[in-house]
Structure 1
Amino acid sequence: MHRTSQFLHQCHQTWVANRATKPCDVFINHRGIDTKRTVATLLYDHLYRKNMKPGDKLFDNINGAIRKCKVGVAVFSPRYCESYFCLHELALMMESRKKVIPIFCDIKPSQLRAVDNGKCAMEDTVNWLSKRLSTLNWSDVVTSASDNVIKTLIEMEGEKQMQRRKTSPILHV
């Protein structure tokens, strides 16, 4: 029985590794312990209702999902910087030059800090963060995000008007 279970596990791992990552429209980067039952779930539900494909349940393919997504949403929260995964995902979005919309949940931008949780030297954490986030100017990020939102809304309105024109009867005079 043990051999069968090992074989099935190996088959599953191979299948997961070989399957193509479907691109998602939005990748929601968040600290689950802080936001899973509030902001992240609301975002996920809203995007789902809008027929967008949020980047959820992609743990085995997370890097590919981030690289292929159209936009990232980073939900910053009090324990966000304690998570290696959150920081890794954020760094990957920045390195991939994705549009990132920041949301600050129960925290101000000035309160975001790397935390020494004993898993690695604080100096290493600070160096890692500073290398990846040194060019990050929160004012520019927020301005860029709002510009992207406005641009997207304008594009969506244009698409709606084109749909109306296609479905309205054409009058020949």
Structure 2
Amino acid sequence: MASWLLRRSVTAGRSSSSMSMAAVRLNTPPPPGRAYDVFINHRGADTRHTLARQLYDRLLQLSGGRVRPFLDNVSLRPGDRLVARIDEGISQCKVAVAIFSEGYLDSAFCLHELASLVEARKVIVPIFYGVKPSGLVLPPAVVESSALAPRDVERFRAALREASYTVGLTYDPATGDLAELVSAAANAVMKRIEETETSVQ
């Protein structure tokens, strides 16, 4: 396991570092027993309580609970093995949403999730939340990090290139309507799920 993976931990309160995960919501356990349909890849500090959570709720609402999204701070429960559960969500999903926000590129874990989704050839719907596709470039601090192997850096770069050339949704937090973005993103995801289900019939 990569050394940087070991630094991400589930805490009982606020994130203890930029690599730490948000507290698990104990009052909203995920529905058990079914595979995940959608994986929401996001930087928690930027969008956990806004776009990511609203998209999660909207997908449940639109599908009448038929679609099961994976959102880390909702879907993970105390006692879960962090990496194993996230890998499970990635491997099971039909469609992924990658929310690129201001702090996204600083998170090796976000980048690892994205690279895993690309390598698994998942359908990815990008959302450029206050950033531009042309801005998906690894910052020097990530490239030069002693915790990252050269192979990880190349994986991340390849995944970002793939995402930057994928048609997505753009949003300016200063002027945009978040409700409209959530609706557009949820509709795009539902359409992609329907297409994947039709293609395997």
Q: CA deviation at 1:126?
A: 4.2
1:127 aligns with 2:154: yes
Question: Considering only CA atoms, is the larger Rg found in Structure 1 or Structure 2?
Answer: 1
Q: Deviations over 1:94-129 (max 9, x none)?
A: 011100000011111111221215643789364342
Say which of 76, 83, 95 aligns to 2:107: 83
Structure 1: which 4+ aligned runs deviate by more than 4 Å? 131-134
- Cα distance 1:68–1:123, how it changes in 2: closer, same or farther (>3 A)? closer
**DSSP 3-state at the match of 2:167:** helix
Q: Superposition RMSD on alpha carbons, in Å?
A: 3.5
Q: How many residues are paired up?
A: 133
Structure 2: runs of 5 or more not aligned: 1-31, 77-81, 169-184, 196-201
In the aligned structure 2, how far is the partner of 1:67 from the partner of 1:121? Answer: 25
1:142 aligns with 2:154: no
AA at the equivalent of 1:86: C
TM-score normalised by length of structure 2: 0.55
Matches within 5 A, 1:132-171: 132-134=159-161, 136=162, 138-139=164-165, 141-142=166-167, 149=188, 152=191
**DSSP 3-state at the match of 1:37:** helix
Structure 1: runs of 5 or more not aligned: 1-19, 157-173
- Name which of structure 1's ranges 38-47 and 118-127 shifts more when overlaid on structure 2: 118-127
In the aligned structure 2, how far is the partner of 1:95 from the partner of 1:121? Answer: 21
TM-score normalised by length of structure 1: 0.63
Structure that is richer in helix per residue? 1
Q: Deviations over 1:80-102 (max 9, x none)?
A: 11111111110111011100000
